[in-house]
Structure formats: structure tokens, C-alpha cells
Chains A and B, each alone.
Chain A
Amino acid sequence: AAGVIQSPRHLIKEKRETATLKCYPIPRHDTVYWYQQGPGQDPQFLISFYEKMQSDKGSIPDRFSAQQFSDYHSELNMSSLELGDSALYFCASSSGGGYGNTIYFGEGSWLTVV
């Protein structure tokens, strides 16, 4: 079965640079979530989208922005990168605007800021 696809799987950026992560949800899923997991930490919710509209907002820094496109894929844009942004970034998807009960995660994108 198709899963949540994230790209790139790994990237290395320098401080103050910009990075963009992409997420392709499971087919027919209309809801996308972004999470950040620091080393040894639990995943922290950043932001979610339903039908291309922002739905819920968590601890997303102002330097980050995201959107969901007409084909339901989503991109997380991170600017003015800091060392503390080094983390594993997960995308997850579900259907039904979040009322669906199954939320599936991608394998994550490892971001290292040097």
C-alpha cells in the first residue's frame, strides 16, 4: 500500500540558509500534518492542513511557513535556519478533515544545520 512520501530524506544546510521539505500524502488523504522531532525527543506538532486550508497550528516558529497545494501535497519552508532546527521532520496524513481515526506518518526528513 502507498505510504506518506517525504523528500528529501536527508539534507544539510548552513545557519541562516533556507530549506524546503516536501510531503506527498497517501492517495485520497486530504489532511496533512507536520511534526518536528529533536534528538531524543517526542514529536512536536507544528501545523496541519485540510483541503488546502490551514487547520491547526502548534509550535511552529515564525521563520517557518507551510502550505498544501491543489494536489494535496504539502511543503514546509524554513528560513533563517538555526542550529536548533536540526531535527527529524515528519509529515503525516489522514482523511476526513482529521475526523478520520488513522493518521499515518512518513519516514521523515533529517535536517542538519551546521
Chain B
Amino acid sequence: GEDVEQSLFLSVREGDSSVINCTYTDSSSTYLYWYKQEPGAGLQLLTYIFSNMDMKQDQRLTVLLNKKDKHLSLRIADTQTGDSAIYFCAERGGGGADGLTFGKGTHLIIQP
């Protein structure tokens, strides 16, 4: 079945860039997503990328997709304390209302 892998923790200093990495196994993935979850809160859609793209930028967020290596990354520029959260990578396979497969989530820790 599909599998999505992420590092569990990432620690960065305030003002630096954060890069959160994700690998997936499903070669038929159509869309790949990044969600943010703050403690006790819901899942906030940050951004997504279609599988035929290799990069997408949205303000401080840059998503890079290497489809050959099945590697996805999320770069957050000028990381702020409000960015402290768990970041989930998720992939969707074929068409229809298929459910997303999530990674375990990366805890982003911001050092002052």
C-alpha cells in the first residue's frame, strides 16, 4: 500500500528557513499536500502541488517535488514562532474521492 515518510522533528532558529522533507511510495500520486496542525487544533491546508509540477511558491512557502525520487519538500522562509506546529505531508492516489495517506508529521520547533 501507499506509504509516506517524514522526519519526526525539526528544530530551527527564528528567522532562518525551515525545510521539511517527505518521501512517498505511490507512483500514481496525483496531488501532494502539506497540512499544518497546531496543538489541539484541526488540520489547516497550507498548500498542494499537482504531480506534473516541480515547484510551487506561495508567499513564504515553497514546495519542491522530485517525482523521479518521490521526494517532496516544504520550505518556510523567515520562520516565526507562530510557525511552530506539526506539519503533515499527504498524498492522494488516483481519481475519485480517494482518501489521503498522511505521513507521521514533522514537529517544527522554533528556537528564539
Contact = CB atoms under 8 A, between A and B. Distances in A.
Interface residues of B, number: 23
Interface string B35-46: 100000111110
Interface stretch (A11-19, A47-55, A76-84): A47-55
Contacts of B43: 43, 90, 92, 105
B96 A56 contact: yes
Contact of B31 (A35, A56, A101): A101
Interface residues of A, number: 30
Contacts of B88: 42-43
B61 to A, nearest CB: 15
Given A105-B43, A107-B41, A45 B50 contact: no
Contacts of A108: 42
